[in-house]
Amino acid sequence: MRSIKMKRDLLIVFYISMILFNCSRENGLSQTSSASSDSVKSLDALDVGLATTISIHFTYEQRQGKYIYTKYCSVCHGMEGKGDGFNAFSLDPKPRDLSNEQYMKSFTDDRLVETVREGGRGVNRSPLMPSWGGRLTKDELLYVIAYVKKFAVSTDTHK
């Protein structure tokens, strides 16, 4: 009789501890399954002040690329990459339209970097496109390509 009671008590204790354990795992497994997507959402929900500036629309690379592009490239390729910079009308052949999605998609990043680094003559195109390998560092070339690729995304708003 006594042993049955003991078993019952043990059972109660077991249940209580299970409940305790369940309560304490609030951050546990339930989050793991969808860990990555959840954290992205909550990052966006973080308070970031007034979101009207360039840093919201661009990643770090694209932002750096924008400054480089504006300084070196926009005179011919234009601020929006359409190949209509103020210097474009005196050039023949005309500067490439960088907002042409189909054309831009046919190149890998490496090839685009090579084109900027070696210039037109390095990739059997017009020598009017100078080679920027001596001026821009490896990282800067990657930045500028990251930015240039944004032109060809049709839904994007350029700021």
**What is the binding site for other proteins (CB under 8 A)?**
2, 6, 9-10, 13-14, 16-17, 20-21, 24-25, 27-29, 31-32, 35-37, 39-40, 42-43, 46-56, 59-61, 63-64, 67, 71-72, 75-76, 86-87, 90-91, 119-121, 126-135, 139, 142-143
Q: Output the smallest distance, CB 43 to other proteins, in A.
A: 6
Q: Output the smallest distance, CB 80 to other proteins, in A.
A: 18
Q: Output the smallest distance, CB 34 to other proteins, in A.
A: 9
Instruction: Round to whole Å and give the CA distance between 127 and 144.
Output: 20
Instruction: Round to whole Å and give the CA distance between 42 and 110.
Output: 34
Closer CB to other proteins, residue 82 or residue 125?
125
Closer CB to other proteins, residue 59 or residue 103?
59
CB 81 within 8 A of CB 148: yes
Quote the Cα angle for 51-54-55, to 5°. 75
Q: Output the smallest distance, CB 106 to other proteins, in A.
A: 20
CB 148 within 8 A of CB 136: no
CB 113 within 8 A of CB 142: yes
Instruction: Round to whole Å and give the CA distance between 94 and 78.
Output: 12
